[in-house]
Structure 1
């Protein structure tokens, strides 16, 4: 028996030594040279804005504007509290973020939400010198902003190809989380092509790199020292970092940057359709081998899709021979096209495959996408949203007996809970919404300091959202 124990002990010892040897020889990346090489091009960005103090006690910092609720929650919990100010006096709000220099003559990229609403933008370089920046242009849809500082021979990053990124590849972030300049965190690419709430035109890079307030707008590097993305958002349910970070692909960011530099705005392709995901049951009903593509739930009257012959019930399988795996792939691909470009769509219609060629239109401004038969109804200022009634075609396409569509979000609770133009509201405070007038009446009578529910339909998916109105 003792002999058997000795054999087992020797065997375990051998495994332990083998494991130690393998660990010693493991090829883990050494980031030291990379950090020394790229850090000088990473900058800290602070902004100043004269804004009224919110009575609720949370500082209204530009860094939060446009963020979906689940993402905003983490940042709000880490903001300094400010006293109530019934008089509504002005104060100087400050925001802190990151950015990086993309050219030696002083062009800087960051997030739109870092500089949104700023009256003054200050860029602090790695040598601690500060330069005032001019906002060349910003694109809220991709959350990209282009700045310009005066300077020559400034250190600039090398730009990489985000399309070439592979899941599992090592990546590194540099930024100013909580104001700690040039903090370095590392991880791997967790996924590509992610879609997030309110972000239809960005196929996000998902990583497990630790990102916190202040990292927004900072660069995501590959091991070659090339920038492959702009760190933009995190996903959290606890209020802390949970291993889910999202970066804007550099291919998307540079396309936006080039347009902002040339024209001061971004033009995107648009089909004029509302789409939904194709699940297993829908795939079977449409005669598809597997769930894939984007199901056309609505076609905007006189839009590019309507003029090109696309119909409600069509399943779009590819765009210019690029497969639509999930419905979110469609706006990603169409958005990269220029208005007027010709596009080839492979669709399934009534069980048969067809190829449709049509001209892409220009994406309308926010609030112009929803066509409605009736006039717009502006709710009370307490909600901050304009809604319109659904026409018969929309009701049939969405299979809804009632509901109203969001035409415009001005701010207030509607913006805080993440409503956006095109959303369909079917219930408010547990009451069915059969008209825009009914919505306004219910909105005006909503209780304060109590949770209120709202049922919202977005791209074929329904969910209940809760919010609370202040006094």
Structure 2
């Protein structure tokens, strides 16, 4: 037993008095006991077997032995021996995850990655009953799977609304971290509408609730005992919890669940644009008072956006009545829209507001690959630090460009390098004007106003993006391209 030395008592008392003086009282902290007792039985442990896999997903182990500097080494040494070996699952990988019952007749929600490639899925309830589950459907884009067990009169959760969440609000997670079943952890909502690099169609809820491997697929509750999210990912440099957890909002989850239950697959609305964030420098070039909206870098030919008249360089500010504050806001809004519906797009084009109506199509599978850049050639750089050339017929075929554009052969020190331009990029537009060829680019550069950033549209591989480019004095602009 550990005792606190008496000389710490005054400091401890001071903390108590400080909280009392500011009106913060211990009684104001939430009590989760009733919530756990009421809805904890609806949370299940999920184990799925895959042949010839010898690790617990999320641990990052490539063999059966953890390195000594692993944050999980002491954990496994204590429970499984001095060598820090991973537990033996008899030749089958056991994907330890969590889930929850949304109906009394056995429908279970979990993460898609928990049951991916599973040969057998076992759902274990808090009263130690076990059921073999079947997969009704799984959606990789949202990382949601719907399972079904053959049972009746099961406990079930109550579904809430993530839209009503406020940053700073208390939330509770119940799951099976590292296989420890029905563990409860609490924290607050850190942020809403987070976009993660690999997940374009989910506006994540960020929390500081302790989530670890095995919590995946478990519910996130509000203080009313309603599920407002599904715990899905953590940000970690060690493999363990570091204070950044991400949950899928329940509105997204239930939309996916309903589609999986009724049609076995998920369809999403598709606009057909490649977008990027509006930085402070780009905001100035597009006549915006502050950075906001989604900047259209490319419009897919034959897409709903192309049919509606959306152009590269447009800044989408609202979609179907919803504000687009950052580029990450747009994909979830479009994805949750119904295929075949008409949506109103409010955008800014060359500083002028414009409204368009678009007929949404179904999001196709993306099989596009990056193109390799051609080899550079020796040439003198211009005033912004670029060595440029016209595109050859072969290069146009590689970049799928029928006309226009100039190829960046080299990037020297200067404004272009500071802007992030690279060899192999193709300049398609300069300050809102399509670049026809190298001679045309020289004219546009010479006519550009010094000390004012301009937006340059670049094709890099198969994607397109705007960059803010600072313009220096014109003394050497026309030298040696």
- TM-score, normalization: structure 2? 0.69
CA distance in 1, matches of 2:136, 2:183: 27
CA drift of 1:313 comes to 0.8
What is residue 276 of structure 1 aligned with on the other side?
A: 276
| Alignment correspondent of 1:217 | 217
Q: For the structure 1 residues 81 and 347, does the alpha-carbon distance in structure 2 shift closer, same or farther, using more than 3 Å as the test?
A: farther
- Go from structure 1 to structure 2 and tell me whether the alpha carbon gap of 1:272 and 1:15 turns closer, same or farther (over 3 Å shift): closer
Distance between the aligned counterparts of 1:63 and 1:461, measured in 2?
Answer: 38
For 2:192, the equivalent position in structure 1 comes to 192
Q: Find the aligned partners of 1:196 and 1:28 in 2 and give their Cα distance.
A: 31
Does the residue aligned with 1:262 lie in a helix, a strand or coil?
A: helix
SS in 2 for 1:261: helix
Answer whether contact 2:99 2:175 (CA < 8 A) is retained. Answer: yes
Displacement, 1:457?
9.1
Question: What secondary structure does 2:326 align onto?
Answer: coil
* Unpaired segments ≥5 residues, structure 2: 1-12, 61-69, 77-83, 372-396, 410-420, 427-459, 468-481
Larger Cα-atom Rg? 2
Are residues 1:42 and 2:43 paired? yes
Q: Offset of 1:239 from its aligned partner?
A: 3.5
Per-residue Cα deviation, 1:215-265 (whole angstroms, up to 9, x for no partner): 000000000000000000000124331110000000000000000001110
Aligned residues: 368
- Evaluate the alpha carbon distance shift between residue 42 and residue 349 of structure 1 in structure 2; reply closer, same or farther with a 3 A threshold: same
Distance 2:116 2:72 in 1: 16
Q: CA offset at residue 94 of structure 1?
A: 1.5
Q: 2:171–2:222: 8 Å Cα contact kept in structure 1? A: yes
| Runs (5+) with no aligned partner, structure 1 | 1-12, 65-73, 84-89, 373-387, 403-425, 435-454, 463-471
Distance 2:248 2:165 in 1: 13
Which contiguous aligned blocks of 4+ residues in structure 1 show a shift greater than 3 angstroms? Answer: 13-26, 58-64, 74-83, 393-396, 399-402, 431-434, 455-462
Q: Structure 1 residues 95-104 or 345-354, which shifts more?
A: 345-354
Report how far residue 59 of structure 1 moved. 3.5
Tell me which residue corresponds to 1:390.
399
Counterpart Cα distance in 2 of 1:461 and 1:311: 13
Task: Please report how far the alpha carbon of residue 204 of structure 1 lies from its aligned counterpart in structure 2 after TM superposition.
Answer: 0.2
* 1:283 aligned counterpart, secondary structure: helix
- The equivalent residue for 2:291 is 291
Distance in 2 (alpha carbons) for counterparts of 1:322 and 1:121: 40
TM-score (norm 1): 0.71
The 3 A distance-change label for structure 1 pair 137 and 401 is: farther
Give the conservation status (yes or no) of the 8 Å contact 1:274–1:297.
yes
> For residues 389 and 330 of structure 1, what CA distance do their matches in structure 2 show?
30
For 1:42 and 1:358, locate their aligned partners in 2 and report how far apart those are by CA, in whole Å: 42
The residue that corresponds to 1:107 in the other structure is 107
Preserved CA contact (<8 Å) 1:43 1:125: yes
